[in-house]
């Protein structure tokens, strides 16, 4: 049986499907001695090499997921020409494969980030077609009238696109500073800030507090990570229509050494899990 090359590479934990497509396009991958093409298919008998290193047979390893509480001023990328600190600098090392970020957050945005060694899981969680939403806590200067909230839910034009919050609720505040909780289906780059700007208010703080059924736990300090427990991972895989992988490696734990606690909340079933069509990773 053949599979798309970029999916095979992503499933080995080398990166997201989208990133693997970029590697292939850059000529970093060869199949049977020939430079690979984006979109090509391979089978288990093909000789695949990445950066001159042969891709061995797939090892059976447990799917791992980390949650991290991102602090401001760090990037969600492994390489940065400006030399800024990266969230990947503080993550635990894996024996094989590497951590894949599920979407990203802007430099000054804080809060929940997800990482996994499973390319298929990362793709399902991040792609808009899956129907996973994101919730943010937003502090702005000024308070919006009810009519403005309704406009932001109905949809406004931002950069020639109609954008909208799935939900927006007033949370707390006093004086000039007020907090709102907003929900988005994709969370494009700077989308939250730009939506509020259409109503003449400036976002002063932005924090992601939920990604689908995964919440940012109150016990996780800013700038630290924790591994998601196996029961939570199994529930995520079931929600997304993915098979569970059996355990082989000793799991990492929280930086504190504490056994992971559940970070999931009840979440509706996803209609998109019925689709078997390979998808590209996207969204933030």
Q: Please write the tens of the pLDDT for every residue from 217-236.
A: 999 999 999 999 999 999 99
Indicate whether 114 belongs to any domain.
yes
Q: Residue 105 has which token pair? A: 């957050």
Q: Could you tell me if residue 83 is inside a domain?
A: yes
In the predicted structure, residue 260 carries a pLDDT above the cut 90: no
pLDDT of residue 44: 77
Could you tell me the pTM of the whole model? 0.77
Band of residue 249 on the pLDDT scale cut at 50, 70, 90: very low
Q: State residue 191 phi and psi, 5-degree precision.
A: -60, -45
Is residue 280 a part of any domain in this protein?
no
Q: Give the model's confidence band at 256: pLDDT under 50 very low, under 70 low, under 90 confident, else very high.
A: low
Residues whose CB is less than 8 angstroms from the CB of residue 160 and which lie 6 or more positions away in sequence, other chains included: none
Residue 166 · residue 185 · CB < 8 Å: yes
| More confident position, 25 or 249 | 25
- Please confirm, yes or no, whether 106 is among the known catalytic residues: yes
CA–CA separation, 27 and 23 (whole Å): 7
Selected catalytic residue, list 43, 51, 90, 106 = 106
Mean pLDDT, residues 228-251 taken together: 79
Same domain? 103 vs 154: no
| CA proximity to 13, closest of 52, 65, 69 | 65
Of the three residues 32, 54, 76, the one that is the final residue of a domain is: 54
Tell whether the model's pLDDT for residue 244 goes beyond 80: no
How far from the centroid of its chain's Cα atoms is residue 259's Cα? 23
CATH number of the domain that 249 lies in? 3.30.70.580
The reply to whether 217 and 126 lie within a common domain is: yes
Q: What's the pLDDT at 99?
A: 93
Domain count, the chain: 3
pLDDT top residue among 96 and 86:
86
Instruction: Please write the tens of the pLDDT for every residue from 161-213.
Output: 999 999 999 999 888 899 999 999 987 878 999 999 999 999 999 999 999 99
CB 244 within 8 A of CB 121: no
Strand partners of residue 172: 179
Mean pLDDT of 130-134: 94
Tell me how crowded residue 198 is: count the other CB atoms within 10 A of its CB. 14
């Amino acid at each position: 049986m053949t599979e798309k090359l970029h999916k095979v590479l992503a499933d080995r934990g080398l990166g997201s499907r989208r990133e693997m497509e970029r590697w292939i396009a850059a000529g970093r991958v060869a199949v049977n001695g020939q430079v690979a093409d984006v979109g090509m298919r391979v089978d288990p008998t093909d000789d695949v090499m990445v950066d001159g290193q042969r891709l061995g047979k797939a090892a059976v390893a447990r799917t791992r997921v980390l949650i991290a509480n991102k602090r401001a001023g760090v990037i969600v990328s492994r390489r940065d020409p400006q030399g800024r600190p990266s969230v990947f600098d503080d993550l635990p090392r894996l024996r094989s494969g590497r951590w894949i970020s599920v979407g990203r957050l802007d430099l000054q945005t804080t809060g929940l980030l997800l990482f996994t060694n499973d390319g298929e899981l990362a793709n399902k969680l991040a792609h808009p077609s899956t129907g996973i939403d994101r919730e943010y806590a937003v502090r702005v200067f000024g308070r919006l009238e009810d009519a403005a909230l309704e406009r932001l839910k109905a949809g406004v034009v931002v950069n020639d696109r109609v954008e909208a919050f799935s939900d927006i609720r007033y949370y707390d505040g006093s004086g000039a500073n007020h907090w709102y909780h907003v929900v988005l289906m994709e969370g494009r780059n700077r989308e939250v800030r730009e939506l509020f700007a259409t109503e003449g208010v400036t976002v002063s703080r932005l924090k992601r507090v939920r990604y689908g059924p995964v919440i940012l736990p109150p016990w996780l300090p800013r700038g630290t990570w924790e591994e998601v427990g196996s029961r939570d991972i199994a529930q995520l895989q079931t929600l997304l229509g993915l098979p569970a992988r059996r355990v082989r490696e000793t799991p990492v734990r929280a930086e504190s050494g504490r056994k992971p606690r559940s970070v999931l909340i009840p979440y509706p079933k996803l209609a998109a899990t019925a689709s078997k069509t390979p998808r590209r990773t996207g969204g933030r």
